[in-house]
Copies of this chain bind each other. A is one copy, B any other.
């Protein structure tokens, strides 16, 4: 009997947006105890190699097969960490894991599974900019890989009508760059050209860049695949800061 047969577990963890200092101690302990790390190649590469640890990097859009492989390893007694960037529950591996669990082997349901939260890109970007999500907000994945574009536009319009601040993941895909162009049009129409929009690229990495502008001035090229986009509510305000290039942006707590 393989010595790994007993004591297997699976933890779906968030590595945060980039900096080591944003990885929770809970996640660091899980990584130190793991026999296997599973995930999208660039996230797996954020975990340093060490003896006794096997790193299984796979391609993007392989989420379900990756989740199945992770569940199978845990069922065989491995201590498996599935890594996501940011938080695993926000447009990341946790949902894929439960999709695979529900559709998969009955015995997988008896596994010791945990989800360990992480600092999401949305919270990290918001912190760098001030407090743009300081009042009610919504969070939308702009990718049309997994949902119809009409639904995205509908949600944008309803979010504007509700006067939510908004956080957008995956604004631009290489395959369909016109999607974000269209999202900006819908937002301009619904919120007006003066509404604040923020582009937070590669937050908490050495390549971090921030831009604060208005919907009227924004162009689709301001976002790429590593950009988190935030749009303010009607109440969101700017304060010039003397120290950095971009102003502080915050959404007040109260609405009169």
Q: Which residues of A contact B (CB under 8 A)?
A: 16, 19-26, 29, 63, 87-91, 94-99, 101-102, 109-110, 112-120, 123-124, 126-128, 130-141, 146-148, 151, 154-155, 158-159, 161-164, 237, 239-243, 248, 250-255
Given contacts A24-B119, A120-B123, 13 further A-B contacts (CB under 8 A): A22-B117, A88-B131, A89-B126, A91-B135, A95-B134, A115-B127, A117-B119, A117-B123, A117-B127, A118-B119, A151-B255, A154-B162, A158-B159
User: Which 3 pairs from chain A and chain B are nearest by CB?
Assistant: A95-B134, A94-B131, A146-B254
By the criterion CB–CB under 8 Å, are B161 and A158 in contact?
A: yes
By the criterion CB–CB under 8 Å, are A97 and B24 in contact?
A: no
Which residue on chain B has the smallest CB distance to residue A162? Answer: B158
Q: How far is the CA of A128 from the CA of B94 in the complex (A)?
A: 11
By the criterion CB–CB under 8 Å, are A25 and B29 in contact?
A: no
By the criterion CB–CB under 8 Å, are B138 and A239 in contact?
A: no
State the main secondary structure of chain A at its contact with B. mixed
Q: For residue A19, which residues in chain B have a CB less than 8 angstroms away from its CB?
A: 26
Most B Cβ at <10 Å: residue of A22, A110, A115, A131: A131
By the criterion CB–CB under 8 Å, are A94 and B241 in contact?
A: no
By the criterion CB–CB under 8 Å, are A63 and B253 in contact?
A: yes
Chain multiplicity (copies): 2
Q: How far is the CA of A161 from the CA of B155 in the complex (A)?
A: 9
Q: How far is the CA of A161 from the CA of B252 in the complex (A)?
A: 25
Which residue on chain B has the smallest CB distance to residue A17? Answer: B117
Q: For residue A25, which residues in chain B have a CB less than 8 angstroms away from its CB?
A: 20-23, 25
Q: For residue A89, which residues in chain B have a CB less than 8 angstroms away from its CB?
A: 123, 126-127, 131-134
